[in-house]
Protein backbone atom coordinates (compact mmCIF):
# COMPACT_ATOMS: atom_id res chain seq x y z
CA UNK A 1 0.00 0.00 0.00
CA UNK A 2 1.23 3.51 -0.75
CA UNK A 3 2.57 5.74 2.05
CA UNK A 4 -0.02 8.01 3.57
CA UNK A 5 0.77 11.58 4.69
CA UNK A 6 -0.28 12.34 8.27
CA UNK A 7 -1.63 15.91 8.35
CA UNK A 8 -1.07 16.53 12.07
CA UNK A 9 2.58 15.63 12.46
CA UNK A 10 3.67 15.97 8.80
CA UNK A 11 5.26 12.53 8.94
CA UNK A 12 4.76 9.60 6.60
CA UNK A 13 2.94 6.58 7.94
CA UNK A 14 3.59 3.33 6.13
CA UNK A 15 2.15 -0.09 6.75
CA UNK A 16 2.32 -3.36 4.91
CA UNK A 17 -0.47 -5.13 3.11
CA UNK A 18 -0.42 -7.82 5.80
CA UNK A 19 -0.90 -5.23 8.55
CA UNK A 20 -3.79 -3.70 6.66
CA UNK A 21 -5.47 -7.08 6.08
CA UNK A 22 -4.97 -8.07 9.74
CA UNK A 23 -6.48 -4.79 11.01
CA UNK A 24 -9.38 -5.01 8.56
CA UNK A 25 -10.14 -8.59 9.56
CA UNK A 26 -9.94 -7.72 13.28
CA UNK A 27 -12.44 -4.91 12.77
CA UNK A 28 -14.80 -7.16 10.79
CA UNK A 29 -14.57 -9.90 13.44
CA UNK A 30 -15.25 -7.39 16.21
CA UNK A 31 -18.24 -5.90 14.42
CA UNK A 32 -19.64 -9.34 13.62
CA UNK A 33 -19.33 -10.44 17.26
CA UNK A 34 -20.87 -7.18 18.41
CA UNK A 35 -23.77 -7.56 15.99
CA UNK A 36 -24.40 -11.14 17.14
CA UNK A 37 -24.36 -10.04 20.81
CA UNK A 38 -26.78 -7.21 20.13
CA UNK A 39 -29.11 -9.59 18.24
CA UNK A 40 -29.05 -12.07 21.15
CA UNK A 41 -29.77 -9.30 23.67
CA UNK A 42 -32.61 -8.03 21.46
CA UNK A 43 -34.11 -11.52 21.32
CA UNK A 44 -33.87 -11.88 25.10
CA UNK A 45 -35.51 -8.48 25.57
CA UNK A 46 -38.38 -9.33 23.21
CA UNK A 47 -38.92 -12.66 25.00
CA UNK A 48 -38.89 -10.89 28.35
CA UNK A 49 -41.33 -8.21 27.12
CA UNK A 50 -43.69 -10.86 25.75
CA UNK A 51 -43.66 -12.69 29.09
CA UNK A 52 -44.51 -9.51 30.95
CA UNK A 53 -47.26 -8.56 28.48
CA UNK A 54 -48.64 -12.11 28.65
CA UNK A 55 -49.28 -11.78 32.38
CA UNK A 56 -46.18 -13.50 33.67
CA UNK A 57 -44.16 -11.42 36.07
CA UNK A 58 -40.74 -12.99 36.00
CA UNK A 59 -37.87 -11.34 37.84
CA UNK A 60 -35.14 -9.33 36.24
CA UNK A 61 -32.95 -12.41 35.92
CA UNK A 62 -35.25 -13.83 33.26
CA UNK A 63 -33.60 -11.46 30.81
CA UNK A 64 -30.45 -13.56 31.21
CA UNK A 65 -28.32 -10.51 30.53
CA UNK A 66 -25.48 -12.05 32.50
CA UNK A 67 -25.04 -14.46 29.58
CA UNK A 68 -24.81 -11.65 27.04
CA UNK A 69 -22.70 -9.04 28.81
CA UNK A 70 -19.44 -11.05 28.60
CA UNK A 71 -20.04 -11.54 24.86
CA UNK A 72 -20.55 -7.83 24.41
CA UNK A 73 -17.36 -7.08 26.35
CA UNK A 74 -15.42 -9.58 24.26
CA UNK A 75 -16.73 -7.96 21.08
CA UNK A 76 -15.65 -4.53 22.25
CA UNK A 77 -12.18 -5.79 23.24
CA UNK A 78 -11.73 -7.42 19.85
CA UNK A 79 -12.60 -4.13 18.20
CA UNK A 80 -9.54 -2.28 19.53
CA UNK A 81 -7.17 -1.10 16.79
CA UNK A 82 -3.71 0.26 17.69
CA UNK A 83 -3.27 3.98 17.09
CA UNK A 84 -0.64 5.14 14.66
CA UNK A 85 1.29 8.37 14.88
CA UNK A 86 2.99 10.14 17.73
CA UNK A 87 1.34 10.41 21.15
CA UNK A 88 0.66 13.91 22.46
CA UNK A 89 3.45 15.29 24.56
CA UNK A 90 2.45 16.53 27.98
CA UNK A 91 3.84 19.87 29.05
CA UNK A 92 5.99 19.71 32.15
CA UNK A 93 5.36 22.60 34.48
CA UNK A 94 8.07 23.53 36.92
CA UNK A 95 7.06 23.72 40.53
CA UNK A 96 7.44 27.29 41.74
CA UNK A 97 8.41 28.15 45.29
CA UNK A 98 5.52 30.18 46.73
CA UNK A 99 8.03 32.20 48.79
CA UNK A 100 10.03 33.25 45.71
CA UNK A 101 9.54 36.85 44.61
CA UNK A 102 7.32 37.43 41.61
CA UNK A 103 8.53 39.27 38.54
CA UNK A 104 7.20 42.80 38.15
CA UNK A 105 4.62 43.63 35.52
CA UNK A 106 5.99 45.32 32.41
CA UNK A 107 5.06 48.89 31.60
CA UNK A 108 2.39 47.74 29.16
CA UNK A 109 0.74 45.43 31.69
CA UNK A 110 0.88 48.10 34.38
CA UNK A 111 -0.95 50.37 31.93
CA UNK A 112 -3.44 47.58 31.18
CA UNK A 113 -4.34 47.19 34.85
CA UNK A 114 -5.33 50.83 35.02
CA UNK A 115 -6.80 51.23 31.53
CA UNK A 116 -8.91 48.07 31.31
CA UNK A 117 -11.85 49.32 33.45
CA UNK A 118 -11.82 52.68 31.67
CA UNK A 119 -11.82 51.09 28.22
CA UNK A 120 -14.58 48.67 29.23
CA UNK A 121 -16.68 51.63 30.37
CA UNK A 122 -15.96 53.47 27.07
CA UNK A 123 -16.88 50.43 24.95
CA UNK A 124 -19.92 49.51 27.03
CA UNK A 125 -20.46 46.99 29.79
CA UNK A 126 -21.22 44.21 27.29
CA UNK A 127 -17.79 44.56 25.60
CA UNK A 128 -15.91 41.29 25.18
CA UNK A 129 -12.51 40.90 26.85
CA UNK A 130 -10.84 40.48 23.45
CA UNK A 131 -12.29 43.76 22.22
CA UNK A 132 -11.09 45.52 25.38
CA UNK A 133 -7.58 44.06 24.90
CA UNK A 134 -7.48 45.17 21.25
CA UNK A 135 -8.56 48.69 22.14
CA UNK A 136 -5.98 48.83 24.96
CA UNK A 137 -3.22 47.82 22.55
CA UNK A 138 -4.31 50.50 20.07
CA UNK A 139 -4.32 53.14 22.79
CA UNK A 140 -0.90 52.04 24.07
CA UNK A 141 0.62 52.28 20.59
CA UNK A 142 -1.00 55.68 20.00
CA UNK A 143 0.16 57.00 23.39
CA UNK A 144 2.95 59.61 23.21
CA UNK A 145 6.38 58.54 24.44
CA UNK A 146 6.20 61.04 27.30
CA UNK A 147 3.16 59.25 28.75
CA UNK A 148 4.66 55.82 28.15
CA UNK A 149 7.77 56.99 30.00
CA UNK A 150 5.82 57.27 33.26
CA UNK A 151 4.74 53.63 32.96
CA UNK A 152 8.29 52.60 32.05
CA UNK A 153 9.66 54.44 35.09
CA UNK A 154 7.18 52.60 37.29
CA UNK A 155 8.37 49.32 35.74
CA UNK A 156 12.00 50.25 36.43
CA UNK A 157 11.21 50.95 40.09
CA UNK A 158 9.38 47.63 40.39
CA UNK A 159 12.30 45.92 38.68
CA UNK A 160 14.79 47.36 41.18
CA UNK A 161 12.61 46.19 44.07
CA UNK A 162 12.30 42.75 42.48
CA UNK A 163 16.08 42.45 42.04
CA UNK A 164 16.60 43.35 45.70
CA UNK A 165 13.99 40.78 46.77
CA UNK A 166 15.68 38.14 44.60
CA UNK A 167 19.09 38.87 46.15
CA UNK A 168 17.60 38.57 49.64
CA UNK A 169 15.77 35.36 48.66
CA UNK A 170 18.94 33.79 47.26
CA UNK A 171 20.89 34.88 50.35
CA UNK A 172 18.39 32.94 52.49
CA UNK A 173 19.13 29.83 50.43
CA UNK A 174 16.31 30.06 47.92
CA UNK A 175 16.87 29.04 44.35
CA UNK A 176 15.17 30.48 41.28
CA UNK A 177 14.57 28.61 38.03
CA UNK A 178 16.98 29.65 35.28
CA UNK A 179 14.27 31.61 33.42
CA UNK A 180 13.44 33.63 36.57
CA UNK A 181 16.88 35.11 37.18
CA UNK A 182 17.28 38.76 38.24
CA UNK A 183 17.12 41.27 35.41
CA UNK A 184 19.27 44.25 34.70
CA UNK A 185 17.69 47.69 34.84
CA UNK A 186 17.94 48.16 31.10
CA UNK A 187 16.34 44.78 30.29
CA UNK A 188 12.80 45.09 29.06
CA UNK A 189 10.26 42.38 28.49
CA UNK A 190 8.59 42.78 25.10
CA UNK A 191 5.79 45.22 25.65
CA UNK A 192 2.52 45.20 23.76
The terminus-to-terminus CA distance of the chain in angstroms comes to 51
pLDDT value of position 185: 46
**Percentage of the chain modeled with pLDDT above 90:** 26
In this predicted structure, the answer to whether residue 192 has a pLDDT above a threshold of 90 is no
* Cα angle 167, 169, 171; round to 5: 70
pTM comes to 0.46
State whether residue 2 is helix, strand or coil: coil
Tell me how far apart the alpha carbons of residues 108 and 4 are, in angstroms, rounded to a whole number. 47
Of 45, 35, 41, nearest to 75 by C-alpha is: 35
Mean pLDDT of 114-130: 89
Task: Tell me what the mean pLDDT of segment 9-30 comes to.
Answer: 81
Q: What are phi and psi of 106, to 5 degrees?
A: -70, 170
- pLDDT score of 190: 43
The pLDDT, as a whole number, for residue 173 is 83
Averaged confidence pLDDT in the chain: 77
Mean pLDDT in residue range 181-185: 53
pLDDT value of residue 26: 87
| pLDDT, tens digit (0-9, with 9 covering 90-100), for 66-110 | 555 555 555 555 555 555 666 677 887 777 788 888 899 999 999
Amino acid sequence: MAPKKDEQSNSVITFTREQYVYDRDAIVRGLTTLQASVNEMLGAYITHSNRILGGDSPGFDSLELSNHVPLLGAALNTFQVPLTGKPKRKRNYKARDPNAPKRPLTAYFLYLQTARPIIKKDLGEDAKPGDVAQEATKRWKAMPDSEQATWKESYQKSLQEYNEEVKAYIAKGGQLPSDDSPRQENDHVAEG
